[in-house]
Structure 1
Amino acid sequence: MVARPLTVIQPKAIPLGTPEFEEKRAALLRTLEESIPREYYLPQEIFDKNPVDVSTIPSTCGLLSPEEIQITEQYDAVSLAEAIATRKLTAVAVAKAFCKRAAIAHQLTCCLTQFFEEKALQKAAELDEYLEKNGKTIGPLHGVPISIKEHMPTAGLYSSAGEYSTIVKDDEDALLIRILREAGAVFYCKTNQPQAIMHLETDSYWGRTLNPHNIHLSAGGSTGGEAALIAMKGSVLGIGTDIGGSIRGPSAFCGIYGFKPTSYTLPMTGMLHNPFPAELNVLCSIGPMCRTMRDMELFTSLILDAKPYLEDPRLIPIPWTGLKTEVPKKLKIGIISNDGFIDPQPPVKRAVAWAKKQVSDPKYADLFEVKDFTPYDAAGAWSKIRRMYWPDGAEGMKEAITCTGEPILPLSAWIWKDAEPAGMQTATGVSHMRKERDDYRIAFAKAWNEQDVDVVIGPCFVGPASAHDTAFYWTYTSLYNFVDYPGVVFPTPIKSEAGEQYASDYKPLSDECKHVKQLWEEGNFEGAPIDLQINARKYHDNQLFGALTLLKDALQLP
């Protein structure tokens, strides 16, 4: 009897490249398949049922023991570290549980690119031996499994910038990866990202990552593999990067936490082998994706405690007070119902209304002052950032994709289409872009100050998770990359329901707004979780976390 190959659900295939490219791609997929033990293969009958919500399958499929289910579901990173340090759990048992669950999650969502259980178990055994011998841990993440986004250089593994032609084997860790390793983290897998790392949907030569709550919806991007894996509880803590919503978008789509710091807060040092022209105008940030608020705090504080600014002088050495930050006696909260450009789809409007009601409860009258808020010229920001991502007219990216016969995916062509006609900019042209950006930032700050708020709460996206290949409008996240304000997305109790409709008095704010309504009416978003976003001024990352502490009870934040 011939053993069946590993089944990975793909309800919508990605376009094919040349025969030569597809042959190379097939070899990559075989390598990943061969790294997953056969005893981790899901029974065929699970796939035969054509599940839509796959989020609970890992705990019911029979492959995980009761202890492994408990390890992966009942702990966050903080409590895992404590359980290992006190020897309630071994690092080996924890690593084994998350490896198994990650392998199961991949079959259901296509979230992985590399899987290296043997290395993880070896490292975990060394950590257990160290603890036994020395009676102490090597750092705050001793034995905690951490998943890693595909492009992040990690010693002994492969990375790429989202195109097949950029795959390299790395000899050294990027700075942040090294800090995590020295803190005792156990690395066990790498996760999927989009072509060019520039979609709000994770589709690449590795396949299309699916939303665990509804596989016909996107898991988001660019850090969609991480978001799906964490939502499937195959990871407790992952690392994302964000230049337009790449932490916040997938975290929101999958119903978890994600933190985009102000740029140059946490180190991006060594995270890409080649410079990205977009960063001439819009800087990328790096941050945690996880299931609890305190895990965001753990990640951020331990990275900053390592004083990465001593190695990377671009970083701003702001002392971290995080969740313990004192905030104004009465926090001024702006509520964004829409950004004046695109009115969100019905479940997002319900979530915003829920949050407004929660913080407006009379019992919080001494803590919060709540007011409506409208961001300054969101349509203008979207138009500008779409051009400024590609000061080279995307020429470099297109060449990197097509040189191997790899196909240009639909959302790649979409995101650079406004910049493409202008082609490669001159130095003078880029300088004018920067002035346009800075003029906008000053006007945005002025409008924020005039509305007199400390933080704003609003949508993360125009809707819940988008249907595949329709993540067109990132306006609610990219705005804060353009002005470089920090943001956290957090889960709410709201989920998308069948049969929800727009209000009878709806009037579109723009052609894009009308298109978003059309996408809602054409899709089925049932079961998709809804996150909301909270933002603070640039460099006010501590104050943002202080606000989260104050909002914890009102917004039911785990």
Structure 2
Amino acid sequence: MTIEWQTISAQYCANRDSTIPPSMKLKSDPPKDMLNVTNVPKTCGLLSPKELELTENYDATGLADLIKEHKTTSKELVVAFCKRAAIAQQLLNCVNELLLEEALEQATKLDEYYATTGQLVGPLHGVPISVKEHISLKGHTATASFLAKANEIAEADSDIVQTIRKAGGVFYCRTSQPQSLMHLETSSPLMGTTLNPFNRKLTPGGSSGGEGALLGLRASVLGIGSDIGGSIRSPAANNGLYGFRPSTLRLSRKGCQGAVKGQESILGVVGPLAQSARDLNLFMKACMAGEPWLEDASIVPLPWRTPNLPTKLKIGIMRTDRVVTPQPPVQRAMEIVIDKLKDSPEYELIDIEPFKHKYSWDLISELYWLDGGKACYDLFAQVGEPLEPLTEWILKQPNVKNHDVAGVWKLVADRDEYRNQYIKHLQAYGVDFVLCPAGPGPAPRLGETRYWTYFSVWNLLDLPSAVFPVTKVDPALDVKDESYEPMNDDDAFYYQNYKPEDYKDAPVGLQLVGTRWEDENLLAALEKVVRIL
């Protein structure tokens, strides 16, 4: 017998499928044992040679330049990227909604405006932009992947959407996220499981996993995600992308949907996933030019500043967090970057130790659920929505419980004390940035992402952090150390589950973290670092 949540899911997925025109459907599905599907858009026959060139060879900055130089139009780009997004959905289950008609309408207006006036409306004029589903678009659902919210329609664009529209960006696709928004994977009873384009047995990450999968298949050049514990950086690392977690209160979260409003113990942020480091800068500059503090009084009124980097960058090298040892592909990626940096006179590398990372997880996981998860449980109960295994895992972390006001005050005081101690710890090393793993390994097998701390510690500290791609798993090089003795249960889980052949083709990324709240300097340093790789 069909029950309520199954009916809601079936209706939602049917509506999603109806947004993909028959002309954008694959003639046949690739074999299920084809794990790496990144070449399917090139071979399926749905994209013209020009559309393949536009989607394969350019980042957002490059596409904006093509429009400016009259070498393409926004309308042409929208058609190309909608086709590719439709392919991505059929291969990876990453799209909540294709916005073909309204994207074409907006693109046509932008093309006509440029042809008539010779002026661009902003730095993203005509560039197709994808966006995570819980970031509201007027007239569309904003479920945050709760079935109880499946029929809720946003009455207005979120602030970040308004900002990007003013900069000329064209929204053409909305992407998947996990149940409760609190997985580093992307699965929900609403839509099912989103897959990794490089290996469909692996996760694209989460919670902005639909964005990660979409960009990984090059069905987007620039997407908007959100991050409260790694939700931008995890998909970026898992799909060979660039992702940026800005400091809080630089970009507005107004209009982003979830289970709880007003929770400020750990603030989420919105930010970009991109095909290049320079596109992260492009996105942030475009947002800051829109003066988001005029619409959201909680935003710090701080324009995007000219970076002020020291002549010689001091980079702290944190090889491990001393809780879960990185798997061999991540260790090799660290050595690749370290070898490049140490050969340059522009960098001073300093080995640094982590500071109480196990405690950081105990603290942040408690701060996430000050009501013990009641708001989520209540939403699940409304329609009988079953819990995904990773939802149950995060809600049942040992410190999760319902807090009274005094308990909340104590936790926030503990948070602030940890922040102060960690900043002093970093200051003692005198480093400008920290280079560290982006997770304990490459993209995990589906259902196995159970360690967040390589990402979440920087959320707890509210330090800007960015992920960049380095290499891919090579089973011949990334051999398991059979003599290693795990330090604890979490370490044993990742050690025992590492089989290099299972991760073939999986991208491996690293993370660069700012030691101060200077987003501009971090992105400038990132561009400098990736130029020598």
Band of TM-score, shorter chain = over 0.9
The aligned counterpart of 1:514 is 492
Give SS of 1:217's match: coil
Give SS of 2:458's match: helix
The aligned counterpart of 1:56 is 39
Give SS of 2:450's match: coil
**1:23 corresponds to 2:7:** yes
Shift of 1:226: 0.4
Shift of 1:47: 2.4
- Bigger CA drift: 470-479 or 382-391? 382-391
Residue by residue, what CA displacement relative to the aligned partner does 1:11-60 show, whole Å, maximum 9, x if unpaired?
xxxxxx9622212211111111122111211122x423631001111111
Change (3 A) 1:357 1:128: same
Q: Is residue 150–residue 191 contact of structure 1 (8 Å, CA) maintained in 2?
A: yes
Matches of 1:276 and 1:523 in 2, distance apart? 43
> Structure 2-normalised TM-score?
0.96
**1:295 corresponds to 2:279:** yes
Residue by residue, what CA displacement relative to the aligned partner does 1:111-131 show, whole Å, maximum 9, x if unpaired?
100112111112111211111
The aligned counterpart of 1:66 is 49
Give SS of 1:142's match: coil
- Bigger CA drift: 188-197 or 395-404? 395-404
Shift of 1:189: 1.3
Change (3 A) 1:413 1:18: farther
**1:386 corresponds to 2:365:** yes
Matches of 1:552 and 1:524 in 2, distance apart? 28
For 1:140-155, what aligned pairs fall within 5 Å after superposition?
Answer: 140-155=123-138
- Bigger CA drift: 187-196 or 177-186? 177-186
Give SS of 2:201's match: strand
The aligned counterpart of 1:545 is 523
Q: Is residue 166–residue 290 contact of structure 2 (8 Å, CA) maintained in 1?
A: no
The aligned counterpart of 2:170 is 186
Give SS of 2:419's match: helix
Matching residue's letter, 2:360: A
Pick the aligned partner of 1:474 from 452, 455, 462: 452
Residue by residue, what CA displacement relative to the aligned partner does 1:487-511 show, whole Å, maximum 9, x if unpaired?
0000113434368433355232322
Matching residue's letter, 2:321: D
Gap regions ≥5 residues in structure 1? 1-16
Let me know the Cα RMSD of the aligned residues: 1.8
Q: Is residue 35–residue 198 contact of structure 2 (8 Å, CA) maintained in 1?
A: yes
Residue by residue, what CA displacement relative to the aligned partner does 1:217-273 show, whole Å, maximum 9, x if unpaired?
000000000011011111110001100000001110111000001111111122226
Residue by residue, what CA displacement relative to the aligned partner does 1:507-544 show, whole Å, maximum 9, x if unpaired?
32322111110121498111110010000124121221
Identical-residue share of aligned pairs (%): 38
Residue by residue, what CA displacement relative to the aligned partner does 1:361-402 show, whole Å, maximum 9, x if unpaired?
1xx12x111111222011110111111110100011011123
Residue by residue, what CA displacement relative to the aligned partner does 1:325-384 show, whole Å, maximum 9, x if unpaired?
1311221111111111110111011101111111111xx12x111111222011110111
Matching residue's letter, 1:266: L
Matching residue's letter, 2:531: D
Pick the aligned partner of 1:416 from 381, 395, 411: 395
Matches of 2:363 and 2:94 in 1, distance apart? 32
- Bigger CA drift: 205-214 or 132-141? 132-141
Matching residue's letter, 1:384: L
Q: Is residue 496–residue 529 contact of structure 1 (8 Å, CA) maintained in 2?
A: no
Change (3 A) 1:326 1:114: same
Q: Is residue 148–residue 239 contact of structure 1 (8 Å, CA) maintained in 2?
A: yes
Give SS of 1:24's match: helix
Q: Is residue 348–residue 462 contact of structure 1 (8 Å, CA) maintained in 2?
A: yes
The aligned counterpart of 1:325 is 307
Change (3 A) 1:533 1:499: closer
Shift of 1:162: 2.1
**1:171 corresponds to 2:155:** yes
**1:264 corresponds to 2:249:** yes
Pick the aligned partner of 2:341 from 359, 363, 375: 359
Gap regions ≥5 residues in structure 2? none
**1:123 corresponds to 2:106:** yes
Pick the aligned partner of 2:96 from 90, 113, 134: 113
Matches of 2:440 and 2:400 in 1, distance apart? 27
For 1:336-347, what aligned pairs fall within 5 Å after superposition?
Answer: 336-347=318-329
Matched residue count? 531
Pick the aligned partner of 1:92 from 36, 57, 75: 75
Matches of 2:337 and 2:466 in 1, distance apart? 15
Matches of 1:18 and 1:111 in 2, distance apart? 25
**1:405 corresponds to 2:388:** no
**1:396 corresponds to 2:378:** no
For 1:192-271, what aligned pairs fall within 5 Å after superposition?
Answer: 192-204=176-188, 205-271=190-256
